[in-house]
Amino acid sequence: MKLNPLSNQLFADLTKLGRHFHGGPSFFLLAPLSAFSLTLPFATLEKSELLAIVVGASFASGLNVYATLATLGILSHLNLFQLPPALHIVQSWTVIAVSLALFLLELFADKIPVFDLLWNALHTFIRIPIAALLSYGATQQLSPGMQLAAALLGGTIALASHGGKTAVRAAVTASPEPFSNIALSFGEDVTAISLTWLATQHPFIASVLVVIAVVFTVVMIRFVIRALSRLFQKARAEV
């Protein structure tokens, strides 16, 4: 029977999947999933789509870089998103396992009042550089100048989300009860994972949400700085 090119490609993908599972029962369970989750090559994405993915993933990295890396790796393994060759290391089980372990560590460390401020301060030197590297690798098919611009954009967006997160935490830490801090932390974790998924599946929607979030973040940072300034001035006046 003569197959068209798309059918040939589908058959080849299913054959590879069958060999991976040694023709066992798992093949018949996973083959339909593979058929519906085949993704287009990363190189076929338009420049605007690449930048939209960079925007979404960078903002998520600024909130929780370990959740972002683990989500990207898992989505790639599920054939829901195809990483470019420069980022294939992200889909290795070693990187995924380390990212998940650090995510679990942050899950607890980020919810301890005062300690979370130190944790976030240290992660200024982790979240932002990794976001820039992810952005650089994601745009490998573009010119070197565009790659550098994408890395700068990714780092700047990660800095904005990270800075907003840190500023809000500084304001909330003054509250005597711990529940607001814990709720904020859980919200950030869920947002990082959800936004990473959204950036890979619906990049333009994710980028619009990020633009709104960045504007909101800038306003919040200004509000927090003014509030803390008034608090310090009041404390000095009382002394």
Confidence at residue 23, expressed as pLDDT on a 0 to 100 scale: 46
Domain ranges for the chain, please list them: 5-36, 45-238
Q: Tell me the C-alpha distance between 84 and 213, whole Å.
A: 27
Give φ, ψ of 79 to 5 degrees: 60, 25
For residue 20, what pLDDT is reported?
A: 47
Q: Cα 198 to chain center, whole Å? A: 10
Which tokens hold the place of 46? Answer: 């338009």
> Is 0.95 surpassed by the pTM of this model?
no
Helix axis angle for 144-173 and 47-63, nearest 10°, is 30
- Name the stretches of the chain with pLDDT < 50: 1-3, 11, 14, 17-38, 40
pLDDT of residue 239: 62
d(CA 87, CA 93): 13
